[in-house]
Structure 1
Amino acid sequence: MDDPNNKGNSSSSYDSSSLSQPFLSKPPIITYPPIEEHDSQQDSESNQQYLHISYNHSPRSFKDIPFLILFLLFLLSTFAFGIFSIFHRNTNFTTLSSYTFDSNTTSCINPSFSSTSYPYFLSSSSPFTKDLTWTLVITFFLSLPMCYILLLSLKHYTKHLVYASLPFFILIPIFLNVYWFVACTVKPSCSDAFPLVYRILVLGFVFLVIGVIVWILVLNWHRVELTVSIIGVASDALSWNMGLFGVLPCLTIGLVVYYVPIVVFLVFAKYNGKVVPRKLHGNEYGCVWKEDSWVPAYFALAILTMLWSASAMLEAQVYVISGTIARWYFSKDYETPTKSIRTSLRNAFGPSSGTICLSGLLIFVVRVVRSVVDNARQEDAPGLVNIVLRCCVNAFLSAVDFLNKFTINFAAITGEAYCSSSRMTYELLRRNLLSAVFVETISSRLLVGIVFVLSAVYTIVACVILKATTNLGADSYFVAATAWVLLIIVLGFLVHVLDIVIDTIYVCYAIDRDRGEVCKQDVHEVYVHLPINRSLRQSNITRTLGV
């Protein structure tokens, strides 16, 4: 890691006497000198603007209103046409199979109601269904205290938990790889369907992947201690705002409830049409259902609205987490601010709702375009023009990701519009020699690894219990795998929240550093060790020398 106390750096982040301290040991009280004024009046005015960046406690004004209006138009149109589809439906759709073609009138006539037979899928009283249901219910209820215990462990015993989990990153994949190979070799049905040569190839490929994981860990071993401290700080900040674990799932449930009428509208939209004759082959005619011309357009509108709403809800969750953590960060004496979550919710679905809609729209468009580009790459479309277009699109998508990295976090802190937040965040990080695209990516990977280890251990125990207490046989593997997926989703939610907390604290630390203040001493003691952006440092030195 580069030493941030370089003598040529005029924006030194902490006093050079801290160099005598061990790595990540608690240094003396960190104070930051005020930002040095540049000679030009324009830079001085810009500095004054950024020196006032802090959490906006005052009432906020509405931002990005045009995008809020556009989203509401999509929403109102979806519901309006959906209600119209219910009242305009044609009940003949349910009796389509009873229509016959009348050659005399050249039309479909004489509908008659017939009993509808429902396919038998799976009996709810079967042993498999009961065991699967009980396993998922028990897993879900156990996952909640597991999340709480994991958060407290990350807060108080981060180093112990991380270093204890690291060996299992390698041992569990090795165990599973050897286990399936031996089990498939012993079982005749599996060995006959999967020849030995292919089993050896898969075994070797998995070991190659494990080797890559080992290489990544060795390559980044010097950053593990810093990562441990970052995870500990984020866990501590999240533990002061435990109410987020009640609000965020409610937002997800609210999105599902919001989807229910739209799905109902899509079902009834299929009922809008009429039964018409169609020539099948030769002189034979049949009766088919012909949808009204507006139905496909409504499907496109409703699906776009649902996808945009999902992206906006994800951004709203980021906004609520960021606003809550930022308000706690800028509070005094580690006091948990009252009504911080309520304030963040009010800002997210009030003054900043247009900003969230714009951010959600951009993320949705980026994902759609990236999916199209990936599909085009898989099709291996020839031609130099296609290659150039793909390069241009990838460059554009990377630029959007670059600008969008901390935009919502900053908007939640300051209440600025989307474009202003994007520009001001980049300038804030650039002025303080901090990277706009890197916080500490190893922290996310370590958290995912810890979740993988915990869920894998739980799955192995669940599989052993199922084999010992039930008669599922080979189906016990499927039931255990389903429980593993559920546990991964629940614990992955905790990792997702911690990632957003890490980004938010990073922006708050940059604001502190820009103002020469220290709101949370232990945060500065950790984040001060993040690597400095070399390109920004060189540009600032060049600018200072007047080159």
Structure 2
Amino acid sequence: MAQWYFSPAGTSTQGTTKRALGHALGPSFGSLSIGSAILTIVQLLRNAIEQAQEKQREEGGGTSIVTMIFACLAEVLFQFVEFLTKFATVRCAITGEAFFKAGRNAVDLLKRNALSTGAVWFFPPIIIQITSFTLSIALGLLVGLGVRLTWPDPGSILRAAIALGIIGAVLSLVVLLFLGNILLDVVDAVYFCYAMDLDSQRVTRQDIHDVISKVPGPKGVAVEQPGGEVAYGAPSAGNRRPPQTSTAV
């Protein structure tokens, strides 16, 4: 996606997949391995917590309040680590930086441009999942209806329609979720390329900038402090005037 985004208009995309695969299996293989290891550890810890909760329920004691609170806090931490790992992977895939350096630079890039990643983190997965679930149900109903109208044996038509409808819905849900995950990866990559555009004060893809600029967000500006820290300034609800600094004449 980065090769497409930063290439001049009209440039052929032939060979870009092979080039990206070469980078992944070559210079960036170590960084991708670290990212995969982090995600694997997170998933193992998540599975361990779920198994501990299941064991408590099997022993008849139910799940304690402490365990539930710990599981909730751990899940927040896991989601945060997965989110940072995702953007670190996108950064190192684009720039070729080492994994941890790419993670730090990714966070700094988003902070410098006062970009909120909530719109990318929260809303697209929900929209994709709801859409996939709705379409899979619709396809399952269409399959069941088609079987109902064409099945030659009237005695088993209802059971056949239900069974094939469920199978069609499940298969379509798997395919749609797979395609949805690919689409989410594309959104993440394009969003980060957009952030790199803002950081360098350029517009590489005007259509992408036009679309992302329509996403609602807080009104304000990013202000760099003398020490190098970045703050986000937004007007107050009361529209109070900012303090005036007097200067000696």
TM range (shorter): 0.7 to 0.9
Distance in 2, Cα, partners of 1:433 & 1:383 = 38
Match of 2:96 among 411, 415, 418: 415
Cα 1:381–1:491 change in 2 (3 A) is closer
Cα 1:441–1:512 change in 2 (3 A) is same
Q: Is the 8 A contact 1:406 1:422 kept in 2?
A: yes
1:510 is matched with 195
2:126 counterpart of 1:445: yes
Distance in 2, Cα, partners of 1:373 & 1:494 = 30
1:353 is displaced (CA, Å) by 1.4
Cα 1:533–1:403 change in 2 (3 A) is farther
Match of 2:37 among 361, 370, 379: 361
Match of 1:348 among 24, 45, 52: 24
Cα deviation digits, residues 209-234 of structure 1 (max 9, x gap) = xxxxxxxxxxxxxxxxxxxxxxxxxx
TM-score (norm 1): 0.36
Give 2:33's aligned amino acid: C
Distance in 1, Cα, partners of 2:44 & 2:221 = 32
2:16 counterpart of 1:335: no
2:236 is matched with none
Distance in 1, Cα, partners of 2:202 & 2:217 = 19
Distance in 1, Cα, partners of 2:218 & 2:52 = 35
1:540 is displaced (CA, Å) by 1.1
Cα deviation digits, residues 158-190 of structure 1 (max 9, x gap) = xxxxxxxxxxxxxxxxxxxxxxxxxxxxxxxxx
Distance in 2, Cα, partners of 1:370 & 1:494 = 25
Q: Is the 8 A contact 2:112 2:222 kept in 1?
A: no
1:409 match: secondary structure: helix
Distance in 1, Cα, partners of 2:90 & 2:144 = 41
Distance in 2, Cα, partners of 1:405 & 1:414 = 14
1:534 is displaced (CA, Å) by 8.4
1:329 is displaced (CA, Å) by 0.3
1:535 is displaced (CA, Å) by 11
Distance in 2, Cα, partners of 1:464 & 1:387 = 44
Match of 2:205 among 513, 520, 532: 520
Cα 1:457–1:531 change in 2 (3 A) is closer
2:169 is matched with 484
Cα deviation digits, residues 457-515 of structure 1 (max 9, x gap) = 32222212223333343133112211221122222222111111111110000000000
1:540 match: secondary structure: strand
2:150 is matched with 469
Q: Is the 8 A contact 1:512 1:519 kept in 2?
A: yes
Cα 1:530–1:396 change in 2 (3 A) is same
Q: Is the 8 A contact 2:140 2:167 kept in 1?
A: no
Give 2:143's aligned amino acid: A
Q: Is the 8 A contact 1:463 1:480 kept in 2?
A: yes
2:231 match: secondary structure: helix
> 5 Å matches for 1:83-162?
none
1:351 is displaced (CA, Å) by 1.4
2:237 is matched with none
Question: Which has the greater radius of gyration?
Answer: 1
1:527 is displaced (CA, Å) by 1.1
> 5 Å matches for 1:65-76?
none
2:78 is matched with 397
Match of 1:435 among 116, 136, 148: 116
By relative contact order (CA 8 Å, sep 6+), the higher-ranking structure is 1
Identity of aligned residues (%): 27
Taking only aligned residues, the RMSD between alpha carbons, in angstroms, comes to 2.9
Distance in 2, Cα, partners of 1:486 & 1:394 = 29
Cα 1:383–1:439 change in 2 (3 A) is closer
Cα 1:540–1:408 change in 2 (3 A) is same
Q: Which runs of 5+ in 2 are unaligned?
A: 57-61, 224-229, 234-242, 244-249
Q: Is the 8 A contact 2:83 2:121 kept in 1?
A: no
Q: Which runs of 5+ in 1 are unaligned?
A: 1-324
1:362 match: secondary structure: helix
1:354 is displaced (CA, Å) by 1.4
Cα 1:522–1:360 change in 2 (3 A) is same
1:389 is displaced (CA, Å) by 5.5
